[in-house]
Chain A
Amino acid sequence: MLDLLELLSFGPNGWGDEILQGALLTIQLALVTLPVGIAIGLAVAVAKDSHSRLLRAVGDLYTTVFRGLPELLTLFIVYYGGQMLLTRLAGYVVEGAHIEVNQFVAGVVALGLVLGAFSSEVLLAAIRAVPKGQKEAASALGLSGWSTFRLVTFPQLWRIALPGLSNNWMVLLKDTSLVSVIAITDLMRQTSIAVGVTKQPFFFYLVACLIYLVFSGLSSIVFSALENRASRGFKRVGGH
Chain B
Amino acid sequence: MEPFLGMLGDGFLWLMSLIGLNADLMSRYGLRFLDGVWVTLQLVGLSIVFGAVLALPLAIARVEGGKFLSRAAFTYSYFFRGTPLLAQTFLIYYGAGQFREQLTDIGLWWFFRDAFNCAVFTFTLNTAAYQSEILRGGIQTLPVGQMEAAQALGLHRVLAYRKIILPQAIAVGLRPLGNEVVLMIKASAIASVITVYDLMGVTRLAFSRSYDMEVYLWAAVLYLIMVEIVRRVWNVLERRLNRHLLLSH
Residues of A at the B interface (CB closer than 8 Å) are 64-65, 68-73, 76-77, 80-81, 84, 170, 174-178, 180-181, 188, 191-192, 195, 199-202, 205-206, 208-209, 212-213, 216-217
Give the chain A neighbours of B79 by CB distance below 8 A. 209, 213
Additional A-B contacts beyond A72-B189, A191-B90, A199-B98 (14; CB < 8 A): A64-B224, A69-B220, A70-B188, A72-B200, A73-B189, A77-B216, A81-B213, A174-B85, A175-B84, A188-B87, A201-B90, A209-B79, A212-B84, A213-B79
Chain B, 63-94, CB within 8 A of any chain A CB: 78-79, 82-88, 90-91, 94
Give the chain A neighbours of B192 by CB distance below 8 A. 72
The listed residue (A69, A176, A212) touching B186 by CB distance below 8 A is: A69
Assess whether B82 is in contact with A213, with CB atoms less than 8 Å apart. yes
Assess whether A209 is in contact with B87, with CB atoms less than 8 Å apart. yes
Give the chain B neighbours of A192 by CB distance below 8 A. 90
Answer whether residue B159 sits at the interface, using C-beta atoms and an 8 A cutoff: no
Task: Summarize A's interface: helix, strand, loop or mixed.
Answer: helix
Closest Cβ neighbor of B90 among chain A residues? A205
Assess whether A76 is in contact with B87, with CB atoms less than 8 Å apart. no
Assess whether A200 is in contact with B186, with CB atoms less than 8 Å apart. no
Give the chain B neighbours of A69 by CB distance below 8 A. 186, 220, 223-224
Cα distance, A133 to B207, chains bound together (Å): 54
Cβ of B78 to closest chain A Cβ, rounded Å: 8
Cα distance, A75 to B86, chains bound together (Å): 14
Cα distance, A119 to B159, chains bound together (Å): 42
State whether A202 and B84 are in contact (beta carbons under 8 Å apart), knowing that A68-B228, A72-B192, A209-B91 are contacts in the complex. Answer: no
Answer whether residue B110 sits at the interface, using C-beta atoms and an 8 A cutoff: no
Assess whether A71 is in contact with B186, with CB atoms less than 8 Å apart. yes
Give the chain A neighbours of B99 by CB distance below 8 A. 202
Assess whether A73 is in contact with B90, with CB atoms less than 8 Å apart. no
Give the chain B neighbours of A80 by CB distance below 8 A. 207, 213, 216
Residues of B at the A interface (CB closer than 8 Å) are 78-79, 82-88, 90-91, 94-95, 97-99, 182, 185-190, 192-193, 200, 203-204, 207, 213, 216-217, 219-220, 223-224, 227-228
Assess whether A200 is in contact with B98, with CB atoms less than 8 Å apart. yes
Give the chain B neighbours of A201 by CB distance below 8 A. 90-91, 94-95, 97-98
Cα distance, A71 to B86, chains bound together (Å): 12
Give the chain B neighbours of A177 by CB distance below 8 A. 84, 86-87
Closest Cβ neighbor of A200 among chain B residues? B98
Cβ of A134 to closest chain B Cβ, rounded Å: 28
State whether A202 and B98 are in contact (beta carbons under 8 Å apart), knowing that A174-B85, A192-B90, A209-B91 are contacts in the complex. Answer: yes
Closest Cβ neighbor of A70 among chain B residues? B189
The listed residue (B78, B98, B186) touching A70 by CB distance below 8 A is: B186
Cβ of A7 to closest chain B Cβ, rounded Å: 14
Assess whether A205 is in contact with B87, with CB atoms less than 8 Å apart. yes
Cβ of B39 to closest chain A Cβ, rounded Å: 14
Cβ of A78 to closest chain B Cβ, rounded Å: 10
Give the chain A neighbours of B185 by CB distance below 8 A. 70
Cα distance, A192 to B94, chains bound together (Å): 10
Cα distance, A13 to B103, chains bound together (Å): 30
Give the chain B neighbours of A199 by CB distance below 8 A. 98
Cα distance, A62 to B60, chains bound together (Å): 39
Assess whether B189 is in contact with A213, with CB atoms less than 8 Å apart. no
Cα distance, A69 to B224, chains bound together (Å): 6
Cα distance, A212 to B187, chains bound together (Å): 18
Cβ of A218 to closest chain B Cβ, rounded Å: 11
The listed residue (B88, B95, B203, B223) touching A68 by CB distance below 8 A is: B223
Cβ of B7 to closest chain A Cβ, rounded Å: 32
Assess whether B83 is in contact with A213, with CB atoms less than 8 Å apart. yes
Can you give 28 A-B contacts (C-beta < 8 A)? A64-B228, A68-B182, A68-B223, A68-B227, A68-B228, A69-B224, A70-B223, A72-B189, A72-B190, A73-B200, A73-B219, A73-B223, A80-B213, A178-B190, A188-B87, A201-B97, A201-B98, A202-B91, A202-B98, A205-B87, A205-B91, A205-B94, A206-B91, A212-B82, A212-B84, A213-B82, A213-B83, A216-B82
Assess whether B186 is in contact with A68, with CB atoms less than 8 Å apart. yes
State whether A195 and B94 are in contact (beta carbons under 8 Å apart), knowing that A73-B189, A84-B213, A178-B86 are contacts in the complex. Answer: yes
Cα distance, A216 to B87, chains bound together (Å): 15
Give the chain B neighbours of A77 by CB distance below 8 A. 213, 216-217, 220
Closest Cβ neighbor of B224 among chain A residues? A68
Give the chain B neighbours of A195 by CB distance below 8 A. 90, 94
